[in-house]
Structures are given as C-alpha cells and as structure tokens.
C-alpha cells in the first residue's frame, strides 16, 4: 500500500515504554503510519493541531491534562480526527463521559494486538468501534437509566463520593492522593469524571451538588 494513503495515527500515553510498544506493533502494518507521540493531553492537543492525524490513540490517566479533557478539546476543534480511547478502565463512569466528549471508540489495554489494529481501522473507515465488553457496560447503564437513574446524573461510586468530600474540605489533588493512597493522576481523572457526570464546571458547583445530594453537610 502507498504510505500516503495509510491511516495516520498519533499515540498518546504517559508511559514511554507503552508508547514505544504500540508504535512497534503498528509499524508492522502497511496500512497504518504512526506520525507522532504525546506524553499527556496538552501535548496531544498541540500535536493534533500540527500533524492532523486520522486517528488519536488516547490514554485516560495522564499528568496535567488527562485524556477526557484532551478528547473534548480535540473533538471540538478537529471533529474529523477520530479518537480511540485505549485504557485499563472499563466502568461506565469512564466510558460514558469519554463517549459524550467525542471519542469514536473505546478499547481495553488487555485487548489482543489484532483487536487494537482492527479498532483503529474501524474508527477510521466506519467512524466507531466498541468491543462487546464495553457494549455490555453501556447496555447495563441504559437499563439503569430506564429504571430511574439518568445517564447524565449517574450515581457516584463510593470512591468518587470520598473524593467529593475531600474536595469540599479544601484538599488538593496531592493531599487527596496521600489520604486515599492513590496517585495524583488517578485523583485528577476521578475529579474530571465526577465533574462531567454531575454537570459541574467549578469546584463551587460541585460542592453545591454534593450538599444537595447529601454527600456533604452544608
């Protein structure tokens, strides 16, 4: 195949060894060309603007700007660029916000190499790709919505409620991470997902939501 007609891919992940592994895997496919790499969301946005890839392979949990924020920004400015989320997270708390943000596909890091390649081809040619595991998760979410729980106001998980409580107490992401023994980037990913789920655009709005729902006291 002529390389000029190959699918141009940008690989985004904060772990260099993961990026290099993916690039090595894709390099063996004649119809796919890796045109660049990025270590965080901010780099991803900048390199999409510069390189105009066909597909962005996007991680979620990254320092600084995470995958959700980067997906929103890229989709808003470059809607023709397909974003395929590649992550270890498979719950609806991650899947739904990313699909709403403009992701064209969602695939788990434990997937086989052939499935990843097929997913890249699918989002490029067909505009979407979801593996059966993710589809089942979405079906469960729809069933929950039908029984009274809306997708936009999904019930927060216990960990998310913990984080909301600590945010309301004025703790920083670093302090929350130390309190819950999780990384800062994991805290930031949870915070972004919480804000998206409850429709909050600031900490003040998040605290108002938490008070209204009884998660914290006024």
> Predicted confidence band at 148 (pLDDT cuts at 50, 70, 90)?
low
pTM: 0.69
**Beta-bridge mates of residue 32:** 7
Average pLDDT over all residues of the chain: 87
pLDDT in tens, 185-217: 888 888 888 888 887 877 777 887 787 777 776
CB 128 within 8 A of CB 138: no
pLDDT of the residue at 2: 55
CATH architecture of the region 3-140:
3-Layer(aba) Sandwich (3.40)
Q: Return phi, psi of residue 212, to 5°.
A: -60, -35
Rounded CA-CA distance 37/35 in Å is 7
Question: pLDDT exceeding 70 applies to what percent of the chain?
Answer: 91
Instruction: Give the right CATH number for 158-212 from 1.20.1290.10, 3.40.30.10, 3.40.50.920, 1.10.10.10.
Output: 1.10.10.10
Residue ranges per structural domain of the chain: 3-140, 158-212
9 in helix, strand or coil? strand
**What are the CB-based long-range contacts (under 8 Å, 24+) for 74-77?**
74/44, 74/45, 74/48, 74/102, 75/101, 75/102, 75/103, 76/102, 77/49
DSSP E strand stretches across the chain: 7-12, 32-38, 55-58, 82-87, 105-108
Q: Write b or e for each residue in 170-195: b if 16 or more Cβ atoms lie within 10 A of its Cβ, otherwise e.
A: ebebeebbeeeebeebbbbbbbbbbb
pLDDT in tens, 135-146: 887 777 667 665
- pLDDT beyond 60 at 150: no
CA-nearest of 159, 158, 157, 191 to 173 is 191
Q: Tokens standing for 126?
A: 């067909």
Q: Tokens standing for 28?
A: 């063996």
pLDDT of the residue at 47: 97
Per-position DSSP letters for 75-128, written without gaps between them: HHH-TTSEEEEEES--SHHHHHHHHHHT-SEEEETTS-HHHHHHHHHHHHHTS-
pLDDT of the residue at 152: 45
pLDDT in tens, 85-128: 999 888 777 888 888 889 999 999 999 999 999 999 999 998 89
- pLDDT beyond 80 at 76: yes
């Amino acid at each position: 195949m002529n390389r000029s007609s190959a699918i141009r891919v940008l690989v985004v992940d904060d772990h260099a060894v993961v990026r290099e592994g993916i690039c090595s895997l894709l390099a063996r496919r004649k119809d796919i060309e890796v045109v660049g790499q990025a270590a965080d969301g901010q780099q991803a946005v900048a390199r999409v603007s510069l390189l105009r890839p066909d597909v962005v392979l996007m991680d979620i949990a990254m320092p600084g700007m995470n995958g959700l924020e980067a997906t929103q920004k890229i989709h808003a400015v470059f809607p023709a660029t397909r974003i395929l989320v590649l992550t270890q997270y498979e719950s609806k708390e991650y899947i739904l916000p990313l699909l709403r943000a403009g992701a064209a596909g969602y695939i788990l890091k434990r997937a086989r190499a052939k499935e990843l390649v097929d997913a890249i081809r699918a989002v490029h040619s067909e505009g979407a790709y979801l593996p059966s595991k993710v589809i089942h998760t979405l079906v469960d979410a729809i069933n929950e919505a039908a029984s009274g729980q809306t997708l936009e106001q999904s019930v927060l998980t216990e960990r998310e409620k913990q984080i909301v409580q600590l945010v309301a107490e004025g703790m920083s992401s670093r302090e929350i991470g130390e309190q819950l023994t999780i990384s800062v980037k994991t805290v930031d990913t949870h915070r972004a997902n919480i804000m998206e789920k409850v429709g909050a655009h600031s900490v003040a709005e998040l605290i108002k939501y938490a008070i209204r729902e009884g998660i914290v006291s006024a």
